[in-house]
Chain A
Amino acid sequence: MMEEDVYAIALQNALNEMRNTCPDMQHAFIFKETGEIVAGDAETPQKVIVRVLDAFNGIFNRAKAIGGIEAVTLKCGGGTVTLHSFGEHHLVMVTSANADLNYINTLTRVLIPTVLKLLEKISPTPLKNISAPSPSQTPKPITIPTPTPPVEEKETLEEPVEEELKTETPSFEPPATQLIVENIGGLLVPSDTVRVDNETLAQWENMFEGKKIEYVEIETFDGKTTKCKVKPIKDSKYLGKGIVQIPEKMQLTLEIKKGELVRVKPIIE
């Protein structure tokens, strides 16, 4: 579920960016071979999308003769409908007659496969697939970083001081979860605290035999890491979306921004 959310949000963001860049793009949505709509715009009614899928279905069903579908372009007096296939994902766009199709097609053929490849590469390990260690496992001493919350920018990027701790903590590497960066709104936002879905926190706590997760490590795909406090997300609209809310200052430090993916790992004291 979480994995699907990450895909959907990342693709939705990519589509939104494309539509911002190309105002002539009237409709855009992505669907999978199974017919599942992964991302789309709010302006296209569901029943229209279903009819579009139905129309393309006839072509897909008979495309074996030409080695499968890579693209379909329908030109009409008032605009163009294009379909691009990227593996199991298909992007449908409707553009106005004035649209620069070369530009849009180039953008599409670069952006969407890049996002999909990136998602495949960093495909999150679904939490539901990670089994908690059985109680019979003998706990071994492990080396864990001291969870020092960041205060200053420079400090946050310094290598953590590590110390040997003999602890009862289960002997497995805490799972890293890929989450999408979201801003934290409001005044007096603590700069050393990120917010993660309650469900994710609960799953981490279950994995660690009920220990409260107070700190997490955030790692960017450029390799920058920081440790910080973690609290549950307050805003209900972000629940179950695979989001991590990060203060703006911390985003600057990590050189990330809203919509990007980061790895978030719980730290057990």
Chain B
Amino acid sequence: MTKKKKTLEEAAAAEALTQPIAIETATTEDLKTRLEEIKGYEGVIGYILRNATSAAIDLKDPTKLIEYAILSASALDAAEELSELFSLGEFENIIVEGKDTKILSLTIGENRISIFLEKNADIEKPLKKLRTF
């Protein structure tokens, strides 16, 4: 009886330990699903989703993968620095508009997301989709 109780307690403790990871995984999985949907929007070129343990990348032109990844990481770093510098509170998103392409970068939990769009693409639609998260 005692042994059975101990086993149940251990199982509960183990479940409690694994729960946050399960939620995080679920969040990341859900984000991936949403990003896949966003990728189908008009003018969306691709996305990068990164966290401490994994990365998901989907780009129409894979030759630009490294350049885009470095640029979006720089944008997110600059965003953190600038929001702190001017005491602007919680960071929402950063949009980098180039002559050909624009990038929308934001963080959701531990996930760093960058969506790459054509210059004239609507940025509000993917933002709306991610805001509901």
Contact = CB atoms under 8 A, between A and B. Distances in A.
Interface of A: 26-27, 48, 51-52, 54-56, 58-59, 61-81, 94
Contacts of A55: 77-78, 81-82, 85
A72 B93 CA distance: 11
Contacts of A70: 97-99
B47 to A, nearest CB: 15
| Interface secondary structure of B, over-half rule | mixed
Contacts of B16: none
A66 B89 contact: no
B42 to A, nearest CB: 18
Interface in B69-123: 70-71, 74-75, 77-79, 81-83, 85-103
Interface of B: 64, 67-68, 70-71, 74-75, 77-79, 81-83, 85-103
Contacts of B94: 72-75
A54 B77 CA distance: 11
Nearest to A94: B86
A84 to B, nearest CB: 9
27 contacts: A55-B78, A55-B85, A56-B78, A58-B78, A59-B78, A63-B71, A64-B67, A66-B96, A66-B98, A67-B99, A71-B97, A72-B78, A72-B94, A73-B94, A74-B79, A74-B82, A74-B91, A74-B94, A76-B89, A76-B90, A77-B89, A77-B90, A78-B88, A79-B86, A80-B88, A81-B82, A81-B83
Contacts of A64: 67
A62 B87 contact: no
Given A59-B78, A63-B96, A74-B82, A81 B88 contact: yes
A262 to B, nearest CB: 36
